[in-house]
Chains A and B, each alone.
Chain A
């Protein structure tokens, strides 16, 4: 991730602080969610296509190489004793 700094109106800053505290997430997380939603909405509005999926995942997982570990992640998930198994085969997702 890239670190950046931005200026916000005081009211918007207060809102982000309050919202973050209520949800137990950082202001940065809320900003990422908002940008991803804005991006998806813009893409839908303007029919710009593929940009609708770019950066749309706003999870807090710190891993930076998940895209390279799809097979092993799914193998572990569905393995005996994995999250799927422990959840008795329900459609639960963490």
Chain B
């Protein structure tokens, strides 16, 4: 498993998994382009994605995604107490940015793993300024 160099948000996971999504092709291209470099998903984002699919599309679709994810090679980034602390600090610093809990853990993972590239369709994340890079690179 290569080191994680790109983190993936739920918006891109869902767009890639649903062929009918407006941004499906962009999401697929983003994942395929960066897969070899190492993709990661914080477990909180995976939980958000699974909850969304279950709530909106049903448990059968949730299981389809589950099966696919397990063989996708996307690394699951653990969210421990240390990362939760970083996330809470981001939440405090960007209180007006509209980040939710899962977003903050994603950004905290960027900070801790020194990953500056995020695959997401959530433009709000661009407000985040990592400590180790001039800006977050939001793709695709």
Residues of A within 8 A of B (CB): 1, 32, 36, 40, 43-44, 47, 49-59, 61-68, 70-71, 73-74, 77, 83-84, 93-94
Contacts and interface: CB of A to CB of B under 8 A. Distances in A.
B39 interface: yes
Contacts of A77: 55-56
B18 A67 contact: yes
Contact of A53 (B17, B21, B121): B17
A73 B51 CA distance: 10
Interface residues of B, number: 46
Main SS class of interface, B: helix
A57 B57 contact: yes
Contacts of B28: 54
Contact of A67 (B14, B59, B72): B14
Interface stretch (B5-13, B87-95, B106-114, B125-133): B5-13
